[in-house]
A and B are shown apart, each in its own frame.
Chain A
């Protein structure tokens, strides 16, 4: 009856608030603060934090670096795609383009790598399965993150940012060996 009428009290901001609402607001505020603190805490104690390291680049520059790595460390091919086994701790590259993730990487378990990701054309979504890590890949930006694969096996990288008609065929691979 009164939510669509002017407040009964002309000085409604002076009307004291009921106990029930005050208690709920206090509980909710405490929960909000806990959730807020969880993020910085995870930066200190958690192991999954996205780096903020990134560089402006161009498809040509980034593509050249990828090729350089492929030539140096190629160990085979699969479905026409080079498999690359770069040294532990080195800079490794993967590019997204219509419609593939290039090249296939072979990494060692529990070792850290500096992974560079970028796109040659449109935006792509780097989605590591079945682990389910998802990153936005934006053309013009070289995104660098330190990764430590902690389980061995075969991983797929699918694209989960819509990139045109062949989007669903964009599947890449990462092998993690003991």
Chain B
């Protein structure tokens, strides 16, 4: 029986089992995003001091659940779908051991539910970081452990699928760049999950009384081997999707396979060192350790991101110029499909990730500058620029791309999808910029009351800090509306979108029978050929001058902002 189908619109091949796995992982991820988004409303409406909605205990519970559902469950479930897509679909091969992949998926699902039950029972409001010796209930840790084991299994199925593709010779030459990026993400995931296991298993044993003591500093160092690295999986995954979208929408080819792959290799080698960012103002950590690790050896992973920052939009520019959009520096960009949510999401993602997420991350990860930023609301501002406008927006883009291709449904109410990236990206950017400002004024993160009600001694923030938090919260509400629009668009398309191919039924479509049998009529996909050779002579000069200008603008912003922060640091109490 034929196990494959080919999508008539995109030419992508889907293996039946892999397709079901992509669907369930993506859909459960989106459910986690829905939960996280609803909880976000509680967070912003409480931190907006004039509204100050939730009581303290509920606030901390909601904040814990928001962090875990957004940063762990949404993103990692969705990443599993991306991995199966980048292996089985892109390499046109069957998925290795779908049974194990399902086992992994169910373990993740059970773990995610168990952890949420622990948090919503109110006895595990320990924040995502669950720093010891503050203790959560045992099933808080156990849920995370099961989730991690499940994720690890799915990652190994991904590696297995690569082997299948190679053995069965389903492609010529080397794996595509997007798959290469996905391999990067998967390798980082293995490191991440190993770090998580090393610290969460003893912590679980401690919570049930089998281990008497967990050193708080050791916990921090190892936990961040998971906590930070898990966000590095995102970077590798969303950069891969940027390349995918550039290829699908513009027919862009990587400016240089060698450069882009080298940049991914730098991620594998250096990105995880950034776990040190969280340890810079801890007791007793040596200066050399901090400088080496916080700078990814010598900012080599930053170098990699700066390379992608040029080559992704650069490849779009080159493709656009070939199509004749050659006027001036930016005609290629003005004539880009701004009404297509796949493009607008990715472009907003590239700009906010680079200009805001990247620059603030490097600044606050500088050994000494961290003194004026650690644990202020600047920190969540930074990672909302990387993980929300960076990763989440990119995952939204790929969802828009996959609804017709993978789910074979037309987008429901396309006008919503069209403006959604602007509402979500715009609202989130407002939130981020004003939280950065408030953080610079010393406003604390993870803090219920900036009035310090009930404290024996008073402290007052300057009025401008309140204004910034309020404007940021308005941006946050706007972003939540944008998130809601995404859910209407994506879930609405699955439920009400026009069918492009006969479905096997809404329930069956998630469990091993994605579409009606008639759709599967390919026994063996054609071997994936190497990309065609470029017909024209390669460009000798600057092939993407507009992108180069944007890159220089990024560099100037970076340099100026970096030194402003050193100047600010120089104004505080001398210490040594």
CB 8 Å contact bits of B214-246 with A (1 = contact, 0 = none): 011100100000000000000000000001101
Looking at A40, A137, A162, which has the most chain B CB atoms within 10 Å of its CB? A162
- Considering only CB atoms, which chain A residue lies closest to B459 in the complex? A156
B269 close to chain A: CB less than 8 A? no
Q: Is the CB–CB distance between A133 and B173 below 8 Å?
A: no
| 18 CB < 8 A contacts A-B | A2-B531, A3-B176, A5-B530, A7-B176, A12-B261, A19-B541, A28-B555, A35-B302, A38-B566, A46-B368, A49-B576, A50-B280, A79-B456, A117-B283, A129-B461, A138-B216, A139-B216, A148-B575
**Contact of B216 with A133 in the complex, beta carbons under 8 Å:** no
Q: Contact check, A134 vs B374: say whether CB atoms are below 8 A apart.
A: yes
- Give which listed residue, B172, B259, B298, B575, contacts A49 with CB less than 8 A: B575
Find chain A residues with CB under 8 A from B299 CB. Answer: 31-33, 35-36
Q: How far is the CA of A52 from the CA of B174 in the complex (A)?
A: 48
Residue of B nearest to A156 (CB): B459
A-B contact count (CB 8 A): 334
Residues of A within 8 A of B (CB): 1-10, 12-13, 15, 17-21, 24-25, 27-29, 31-33, 35-36, 38-40, 42-43, 46-55, 78-81, 100, 117, 121-123, 125, 127-143, 145-151, 156, 158-173
Residues in A neighbouring B555, C-beta threshold 8 A: 27-28, 31
Contact indicator A2/B253 (Cβ below 8 Å): yes
The prevalent SS among residues of B at the interface is loop
User: Given the complex of chains A and B, what is the CA–CA distance between A29 and B300 in angstroms?
Assistant: 8
* Further contacts, 13 of them, CB under 8 A, given A3-B178, A9-B257, A130-B442: A4-B176, A19-B541, A21-B311, A25-B259, A25-B303, A27-B555, A32-B299, A122-B134, A139-B133, A140-B215, A161-B375, A162-B127, A168-B453
Answer yes or no: B444 CB below 8 A from chain A CBs.
yes
Q: Which residue of A lies closest to B213 (CB)?
A: A140
Closest chain A CB from B270 CB (angstroms): 11
**Is B286's CB within 8 Å of the partner chain A?**
yes
| Contact status of A7 and B368, CB under 8 A, knowing A25-B303, A121-B133 | no
B201 at the interface (CB under 8 A from A): no
Given known A81-B456, A132-B376, A141-B217, contact A51–B254 (CB-CB < 8 A): no
| Contact status A39-B367, CB under 8 Å | yes
A134 & B531 in contact (Cβ 8 Å cutoff): no
What 1/0 flags go to B352-393 for Cβ under 8 Å of A?
000000000010001110111111100000000000000000
What is the bound-complex CA distance between A166 and B455, given in angstroms? 9
The answer to whether B374 and A5 touch across the interface, beta carbons within 8 angstroms, is no
In the complex, the chain B residue whose C-beta lies closest to that of A37 is B298
B35 vs chain A, min Cβ distance (A):
21
Decide: A32 near B302, CB < 8 A? Known: A3-B247, A50-B368, A127-B444.
yes
Contact partners of B307 in chain A: CB under 8 A = 21, 24-25, 28
Chain A residues with CB under 8 Å of B8's CB are none
Binds A, one of B467-475, B492-500, B518-526, B543-551: B543-551
Main secondary structure of the interface of A (DSSP, over half): mixed
Q: Contacting A134 at CB < 8 Å: which of B247, B281, B458?
A: B281
CB of B303 within 8 A of CB of A134, answer: no
> Is A146 within 8 A of B530, CB to CB?
no
**Candidates A3, A19, A24; contact of B540 at CB < 8 Å:** A19
0 or 1 for each of B299-325: is its CB under 8 Å from A? (1 = yes): 110110011001100110000000000
* Nearest CB on A from B438, distance (A): 11
Tell whether, in the assembled complex, residue B177 and residue A7 are in contact, meaning their CB atoms are under 8 Å apart.
yes
Asked if B423 is at the interface (CB within 8 A of a chain A CB), the reply is: no
- Interface pair B531/A168, CB less than 8 Å apart: no
Q: Are B531 and A50 in contact (CB under 8 A)?
A: no
